[in-house]
Amino acid sequence: MNPMPAIMALIFVLIPLLVVLLVYLSIKGRRETHRKWHEAARSLGLKHAPQKTFFGHGIGPMTGTRKGFDIRVYTFTKSQGESASVHTALEIAPSSDMGMDLHIAPEHFFTDVGKLFGSQDIQTGDKAFDDAFLIQGSDPDKILALLTPAVRRQMLDLNAADGTIKLTDQGSHHQWSGTVVDVAKIHRAIKRHLRLMGELAQAQNAQLMSQTTVSALA
C-alpha cells in the first residue's frame, strides 16, 4: 500500500493548522505587549494610543509631557536587506529647535570611517567623552558651551546603559533592539533623559544670558 497519499493529506491538514497557530500566538503576543505598554504609560503618567491593525490593536506610542518636555516612546521596524527587526525608541524634545545641526552619537566603526573621510569631529577636551562620542554641528563654539561637565556626565551615564543614544537639535533619543516591555527600564531611561534635557536647558539659558549681557555692553 502506498503511504504517500495519506502523508500528503496529513501535510495539507497540518500546514493550515500551523498557520492558524502562528497567527493566534502573534495576536496573543501583541495583546499582552499592548496591555503591558498601557499599564506602563499609566504608571509613567503618559498617554497610550493603540493602533488598529488587521489583526486587532497594535502597540501604539506612549506620549506625554514631563517637566516641560514632550516625550514619545514607540516601536518601529528597521529593514536590513531581506530581513527586518523591531526596535523601541524614546524621544524627548526640547521646547525649541537648538538650530546648530547638532548630532552627537556613540563612536563605532561607521563613525570612524566617517572621520577617515573628513567628517567633522568637535573635541571637548574631555577624553572620556571624546572617546565615547562623535560630535558634529554647524556652530562648534555654541556646541562646546552647551556640553557642560554636567551634560557630559549625563550623556556618559546614558551611554553606559542598555541601548544606543544620540543627541540632536530635535532632542535626546534612546533606542533598543526588540519591543521593550520592562516598565522599569523605560522609566529609568525617561528620568535620565529628563535630567540631560534639564542640564541642556540650563546651558542654553546661560548662553542666552551671556549673549544678552554682551549685547547690552556693546
22-78 confidence digits (pLDDT tens):
655 555 556 677 788 888 888 888 998 766 654 444 578 999 999 899 999 998 888
- Of the chain, the percentage scoring pLDDT greater than 70 comes to 73
Q: pTM higher than 0.85 for the full model?
A: no
For the ranges 22-26, 87-91, 140-144, 210-214, which has the lowest average pLDDT?
22-26
Burial class (CB in 10 A: 0-12, 13-18, 19+), 200: buried
pLDDT at 192 over 70: yes
- In this prediction, residue 205 carries a pLDDT of 85
Q: How confident is the model over 129-149, as a mean pLDDT?
A: 92
Cell triple for 33: 505587549
Measured CA to CA, the distance from residue 204 to residue 140 in angstroms comes to 14
Comparison of pLDDT for 16 and 171, the residue scoring more = 171
Q: How confident is the model over 73-97, as a mean pLDDT?
A: 87
User: What is the sign of the dihedral through the CA atoms of 9, 13, 14 and 16?
Assistant: positive
- In this prediction, residue 119 carries a pLDDT of 54
- In this prediction, residue 117 carries a pLDDT of 42
Q: What is the largest CA-CA distance in the chain?
A: 104
Cell triple for 24: 493566534
- In this prediction, residue 177 carries a pLDDT of 92
